[in-house]
């Protein structure tokens, strides 16, 4: 009997301890720091984290909490006032326009392949045909006779939304195309599969994958600023009403020369050239 009771009691004590611990941290933390919470697009998230890091160095009184969840979830969270700033990597829909938009930068979308792939250039038309399932073989793109393992993003993703708008036009992405649920996993698939092709945010392209030139234009910040590279989408911060208080301090920092320079260094395109 005794041993039967011991376990639940220990468990209760343990839970109580945890609750008390969190409560205690909250209480002591609230007095000292102003917390800003950001949530939304997983494409914007890594850059927001970077910005927050720099911001907290200059403003040690603030604490910034960056969460993912996706563009739509972020927008929803601002509407419900559960977070201070929402992050979106797609334009707002009509019924979401009640929010205040702040354009923080632009991001290019690049087409990536495995580094060992000899194909260097692809045309917009060819990308469209690959993703609508009309080109299925690498032979048609000037390589060996092997099926193309094309990877897309899931329905509802900001990157996919931008890709559909910029590349696909009226055509649908074919049902046979593989789907991964983040920029990171698309990159991972393309980095391990020599026959894969995918699209990801220009900011996270590194030496594990090779970015193709599109109609001979190299995907780069410079070419985006000069309007030569067309596959570009906005990164937005969203607030309920005009930003004020702590939120405004952070947004002003992001839009400042310093903040924009951080974004430029991370491979994004600042709003002022």
Partner 1 sequence: MVSAFSSLLFLFIIFAFILGEGLPLFYKVGAGKIIFGFTWAPTKGFFGIFPMIISSYMVTLGALIFGAPLALGCATYLSEYASRKMKMFLKPALELLAGIPSVVYGFLGVVYVVPLIREYLGGPGFSILATSVVLGIMILPTIISISFDSLMSVPQTYREASVAMGATKWQTIYKVVLPAAQSGILASFILGMGRAVGETMAVIMVAGNALRIPMSLLDPLRTLTSNIALELAYAAGDHRSALFSTGVVLLIIIMLLNFIANFWVKRKVAG
Q: List contacts with partner 1 (CB under 8 A).
A: 42, 68-73, 75-76, 147, 149, 154-158, 161, 172, 174-181, 188-189, 192-193, 195-196
Pairing state between β 232-239 and 100-113: antiparallel
Contacts of 145 (CB under 8 A, 6+ apart): 137, 138, 139
* Nearest to partner 1 of 22, 147 (CB atom): 147
* Nearest to partner 1 of 74, 270 (CB atom): 74
Rg, Å, the chain Cα set:
22
Least separation, in Å, of the C-beta of 243 and partner 1? 23
Least separation, in Å, of the C-beta of 215 and partner 1? 27
* Nearest to partner 1 of 157, 246 (CB atom): 157
Would you give the distance in Å from CA 260 to the centre of its chain?
17
Contacts of 240 (CB under 8 A, 6+ apart): 78, 79, 81, 99, 100
* Nearest to partner 1 of 2, 93 (CB atom): 93
Least separation, in Å, of the C-beta of 166 and partner 1? 16
**Tokens found for residue 121:** 């250039």
**Tokens found for residue 158:** 């900001």
Pairing state between β 149-153 and 213-214: unpaired
The position carrying tokens 């092709």 is: 197
Least separation, in Å, of the C-beta of 19 and partner 1? 19
Least separation, in Å, of the C-beta of 149 and partner 1? 4
* Nearest to partner 1 of 2, 170 (CB atom): 170
């Amino acid at each position: 009997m005794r041993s039967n009771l011991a376990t639940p009691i220990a468990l209760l004590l343990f839970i109580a301890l945890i609750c008390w611990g969190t409560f205690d941290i909250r209480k002591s933390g609230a007095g000292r720091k102003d917390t800003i919470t950001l949530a939304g697009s997983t494409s914007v998230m890594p850059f927001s984290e970077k910005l927050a890091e720099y911001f907290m160095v200059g403003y040690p009184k603030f604490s910034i909490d960056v969460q993912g969840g996706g563009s739509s979830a972020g927008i929803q969270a601002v509407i419900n006032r559960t977070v201070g700033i929402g992050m979106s990597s797609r334009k707002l829909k009509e019924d979401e326009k009640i929010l205040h938009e702040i354009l923080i930068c632009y991001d290019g979308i690049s087409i990536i392949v495995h580094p060992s792939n000899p194909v260097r250039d692809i045309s917009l038309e060819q990308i469209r045909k690959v993703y609508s399932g009309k080109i299925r073989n690498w032979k048609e793109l000037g390589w060996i006779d092997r099926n193309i393992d094309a990877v897309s993003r899931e329905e509802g993703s900001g990157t996919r939304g931008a890709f559909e708008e910029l590349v696909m036009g009226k055509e649908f992405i074919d049902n046979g195309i593989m789907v991964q649920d983040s920029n990171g996993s698309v990159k991972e698939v393309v980095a391990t599969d020599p026959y894969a092709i995918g699209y990801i945010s220009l900011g996270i392209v590194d030496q594990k994958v090779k970015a193709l030139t599109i109609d001979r234009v190299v995907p780069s910040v410079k070419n985006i600023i000069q309007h030569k590279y067309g596959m570009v989408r906005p990164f937005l911060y969203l607030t309920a009403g005009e930003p004020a208080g702590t939120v405004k301090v952070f947004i002003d920092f992001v839009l400042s020369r310093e903040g924009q320079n951080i974004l430029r260094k991370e491979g994004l395109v600042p709003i002022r050239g």
